[in-house]
Amino acid sequence: MTTASAIATDATVLFTELTGDAPAGLWSAPGRVNLIGEHTDYNDGFVFPFAIDARTVVALGPRDDGRIRVVSTFDETPVEVALADLDDLFPARRDEIVEWARYPLGVAWALLSAALLSGQDAAASATGVDLAIASDVPVGAGLSSSAAIEGATASALNDVWELGRTRVELAQAGRRAENEAVGAPTGIMDQMASMLGQADAGIFLDCRTLAAEVVELGFDAAGLELLVMDTQVSHAHSTGGYGERRAACEHGAAIMGVAALRDLSVADLPRAQQLMDDVTFRRVRHVVTEDQRVLDAVRTLRDEGSGAIGPLLDASHASMRDDFEISTPELDLAVEVARSAGAIGARMTGGGFGGAAIALIERSLVASASAAVEAAFAAAGFGAPHVFTVRPSEGARRDA
């Protein structure tokens, strides 16, 4: 992974090429790995992600014409609109904006419309801005490159527009951008992890109340590393399976007469099985058991340390593979090989249908496990995976 300062330099250079000036400031936010709790967030349930040491940096400078212009290392063609036009663009005309630019422009739109609703003058008087965005969070790997853009942009605009929003409110603006400006029906986990992350800690989040607890992970003390095995099979949640899974969960909740699957427990599953078709039941069983696994993982980690959560990671993967059916042959292979190479637990992470798997593994086994995964992918005729370790890191912040 590139160093944070190299990304900051990239953003600064891009900004200066765009404007001829130095930026007024730099803000950054990380991607995330979800340790456990998959597809539980939009069911009002529990998640336990952590922010990683790959970040997106936004270099920002004000302009005096009420326009917003964004440029990024994803695509150096600038996109520019009047702030006053954002409300017409999103969500109705979002297709007119190239996809990557919907993230930062969508955040600006979400923040301004929230300010307007709460009667803040900021909405009317917001100054125009130029933003240059650089990132080393892998795109399409299930590590929330999108939440990193949203978190860095929201933090920057919150400061320059003096909106006074809390970190949770900035996460909510990011989620609204993702849901309405991009059109991906995702939950709140990624934005919360990116905003609230802390070094060496996970964020135990109740997605109904948004109560968040910082839980020390102690990987270092236990001699453990978190290995990411990016299958390089890209996924997108604005299309296809993600929305279908979400609909199945809502259907299951309706059959059971509850507001969200969070309101069911493992003891309700036999009744659920009698009331619903097999596919809906298996979707429901994944979410209900996954919520329980998150609670168990946090308790186990606190009582016995991170070395004891392996079986819960393994069970989570099996549930996603067999009940929720969002794994892929590449993810299954990465998980199996990592385990045979000594990982204490492994699972796919993120929305699924591609992206990355994670393994919790002793430091001394990282090199041999990485080589084993690469060799197994080659033998299976899969494209080469990208295997690397990540560290639980700090959330969104102002860097300069």
Site string for ligand GLA, 341-380 (x = CB under 6 A): ---------xx-----------------------------
| Residue 296 known to be catalytic | no
CB of 210 to ligand GLA, least distance (A): 13
| Contact assessment for residue 328 and residue 353, using Cβ atoms and an 8 Å cutoff | yes
Site string for ligand GLA, 19-58 (x = CB under 6 A): ---------------x---xx-xx----------------
Q: Which is nearer to ligand GLA, 22 or 210 (CB)?
A: 210
Q: Give the number of C-alpha atoms closer than 13 A to the C-alpha of residue 234, restricted to the C-beta side.
A: 7
Q: Which is nearer to ligand GLA, 104 or 352 (CB)?
A: 352
Distance of CA 257 to the CA centre of its chain: 30
CB of 347 to ligand GLA, least distance (A): 11
- Residue 178 DSSP one-character state: I
Cβ-Cβ contacts under 8 Å for 152 (sequence gap 6 or more): 27, 28, 29, 55, 56, 57, 58, 133, 396
Cβ-Cβ contacts under 8 Å for 178 (sequence gap 6 or more): 103, 106, 146, 147, 150, 184, 186, 191
DSSP 311-346: HHHHHHHHHHHHTS----HHHHHHHHHHHHTT-SEE
Within 10 A of 300 (CB to CB), how many other CB atoms are there? 18
Q: Which is nearer to ligand GLA, 178 or 399 (CB)?
A: 178
Active-site option among 44, 53, 130, 190: 190
CB of 43 to ligand GLA, least distance (A): 9
Helix (H) and strand (E) counts in the chain: 13, 12
Environment class of 223 (CB within 10 Å of its CB; exposed 0-12, middle 13-18, buried 19+): exposed
Interface with ligand GLA (CB under 6 A), residue total 12
Q: Which is nearer to ligand GLA, 36 or 70 (CB)?
A: 36
Q: Which is nearer to ligand GLA, 335 or 369 (CB)?
A: 335
CB of 71 to ligand GLA, least distance (A): 25
- Which 155-214 positions form the footprint of ligand GLA (CB under 6 A)? 186-187, 189-190
Rounded-to-integer distance, Cα 179 and Cα 271, Å:
33
Site string for ligand GLA, 232-271 (x = CB under 6 A): -----x----------------------------------
- Which 210-239 positions form the footprint of ligand GLA (CB under 6 A)? 237
Of 234, 293, 285, the closest CA to residue 264 belongs to 285
Q: What's the token pair of residue 32?
A: 């995330």
Q: Which is nearer to ligand GLA, 15 or 46 (CB)?
A: 46
Within 10 A of 112 (CB to CB), how many other CB atoms are there? 24
CB of 35 to ligand GLA, least distance (A): 11
CB of 140 to ligand GLA, least distance (A): 12
- Active-site residues: which are they? 190
**Contact residues: ligand GLA, CB under 6 A:** 34, 38-39, 41-42, 186-187, 189-190, 237, 350-351
